[in-house]
């Protein structure tokens, strides 16, 4: 009896060992993708990366994709990355700045290549040395927002606004640079700036109604995840007060904002996926693989909100035309 128990234990230990050491097929790459938090833009990126990898898998090399979302928990993020490393991933994809930074720290010694997505300021937060030559084992795509172009659109509709509101979350690193840019742009033009910040949906709702009560003529928000999450709850307040909301991502418009201008996150995800394929398939050197930035040329207008504010959509289109490469229109989504 005792003997059989012992044999059983040994056998199970051996299977455990064997299951850990399963050798990978030569033409399959294991990829670990980690998302930072559930968010319309970030989810869009992750879906598109996986789509590109699956599409590639049909014809060429195969990809075994491990996908996780740490839901903004720093310790869990570390455990996920450690789990990826233990599963011998050939490459890691980090979506959003905190994930990219954590992957950078975790791969310092093992040099597993890392591709990041949607890091707004990769040089500023020391993830890469420079956009042209990252210098380490990490490169990727940046959703850097050209704040100037958003304000060009604002000024195209309202040549000399007196008061403009800035709505954002102080806790969002990606908002820092564009908000500083916005302040200097507005100061140069002599426009009064009203700042309103919040750290969660209910605070953003209050901040938005505060802006309305202070009589701003337009509101600007960069690609701020907190405001994005709250957009569905604030777009009616702003639209009813006839205040257009100019934002730094098309997903805002999908949630009711008047204008989303900037990075097409679906496209960013596809480009990130393509980068992963290129690096692994063609054995590219990450240290010299430039960070990809995007020509933020697409203005996305929400036609429902546009009508509610009282703008004529055709008029808006003509006025916007000189300042962007293309104009898209959509209505508020009912499901995502």
Partner 1 sequence: MAGFLSTFQTASELGLITSIAVLALFISYINLNICDLSTDGSFTLGASVGAVVAIAGYPYLALFAAIGAGMISGLVVAFLQTKLHINSLLAGIVVNTGLYSINIAVMGNSSILNLNKTRTIFTDFKSLLSSTFLNNYYKLVVIILILALVVTFITLLLKTKFGLALRATGDNLEMVKSSSINPTIITIIGLMISNGLTALSGSLMAFSVKSSDINIGSGIVTVALASLLIGTLFFKKRGICLKAIGAIIGAVLFRFVYTLALKMDMPASYLKLVSAVIVVIALSARYVKEPVLRGVDGIKKLFGGRKNA
Q: In the complex, which residues of this chain contact partner 1 (CB under 8 A)?
A: 17, 20-21, 66, 68-80, 82-83, 85-88, 97-98, 101-102, 104-105, 108, 125-127, 170-173, 176, 199
Least distance to partner 1, CB of residue 263, Å: 20
Least distance to partner 1, CB of residue 124, Å: 9
Q: How far apart are CA 43 and CA 95, in angstroms?
A: 9
Which one, 326 or 336, has the nearer CB to partner 1? Answer: 336
User: What's the CA angle centered on 252, arms 300 and 231, to 5 degrees?
Assistant: 145
Q: How far apart are CA 128 and CA 140, in angstroms?
A: 10
Tokens of 270: 């596809």
Which one, 21 or 190, has the nearer CB to partner 1? Answer: 21
Which one, 76 or 193, has the nearer CB to partner 1? Answer: 76
Specify whether the CB–CB gap between 48 and 273 falls below 8 A: yes
Q: How far apart are CA 150 and CA 165, in angstroms?
A: 14
Which one, 127 or 238, has the nearer CB to partner 1? Answer: 127
Least distance to partner 1, CB of residue 289, Å: 19
Specify whether the CB–CB gap between 96 and 74 falls below 8 A: no
Which one, 81 or 153, has the nearer CB to partner 1? Answer: 81
Q: How many helices (H) and strands (E) does the chain have?
A: 12, 12
Which one, 172 or 305, has the nearer CB to partner 1? Answer: 172
Specify whether the CB–CB gap between 232 and 281 falls below 8 A: no
Q: How far apart are CA 334 and CA 12, in angstroms?
A: 51
Least distance to partner 1, CB of residue 162, Å: 27
Which one, 24 or 162, has the nearer CB to partner 1? Answer: 24
For the chain, the 3-state helix, strand and coil shares in percent, each to the nearest 5, are 50, 20, 30
Least distance to partner 1, CB of residue 170, Å: 5
Place of tokens 């605070």: 203
Place of tokens 């030569």: 26
Least distance to partner 1, CB of residue 34, Å: 9
Least distance to partner 1, CB of residue 43, Å: 12
């Amino acid at each position: 009896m005792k003997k059989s128990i012992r044999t059983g234990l040994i056998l199970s230990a051996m299977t455990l060992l064997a299951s850990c050491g399963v050798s990978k097929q030569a033409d399959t790459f294991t990829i670990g993708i980690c998302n930072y938090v559930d968010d319309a833009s970030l989810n869009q990126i992750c879906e598109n990366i996986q789509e590109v990898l699956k599409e590639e898998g049909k014809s060429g090399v195969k990809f075994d994709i491990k996908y996780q979302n740490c839901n903004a928990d720093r310790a869990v993020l570390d455990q996920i990355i450690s789990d990826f490393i233990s599963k011998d991933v050939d490459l890691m994809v980090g979506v959003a700045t905190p994930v990219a930074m954590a992957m950078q720290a975790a791969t310092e010694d093992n040099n597993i290549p890392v591709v990041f997505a949607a890091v707004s300021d990769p040089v500023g937060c020391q993830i890469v040395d420079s956009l042209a030559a990252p210098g380490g084992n990490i490169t990727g795509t940046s959703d850097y927002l050209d704040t100037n172009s958003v304000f060009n659109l604002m000024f195209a509709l309202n040549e000399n606004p007196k008061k403009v509101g800035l709505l954002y979350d102080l806790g969002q690193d990606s908002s820092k640079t564009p908000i500083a840019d916005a302040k200097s742009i507005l100061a140069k033009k002599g426009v009064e700036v009203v700042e309103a910040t919040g750290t969660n949906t209910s605070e953003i709702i209050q901040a938005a109604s505060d802006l309305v009560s202070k009589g701003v003529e337009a509101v600007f928000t960069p690609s701020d995840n907190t405001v994005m999450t709250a957009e569905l709850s604030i777009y009616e307040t702003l639209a009813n007060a006839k205040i257009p909301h100019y934002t730094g991502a098309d997903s805002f418009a999908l949630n009711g904002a008047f204008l989303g201008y900037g990075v097409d996150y679906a496209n960013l995800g596809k480009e990130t996926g393509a980068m992963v394929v290129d690096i692994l398939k063609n054995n590219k050197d990450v240290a010299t693989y430039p960070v990809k930035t995007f020509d933020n040329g697409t203005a996305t207008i929400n036609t429902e909100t546009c009508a509610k504010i009282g703008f004529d959509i055709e008029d808006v289109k003509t006025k916007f035309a000189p300042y962007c490469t293309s104009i898209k229109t959509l209505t508020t989504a009912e499901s995502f």
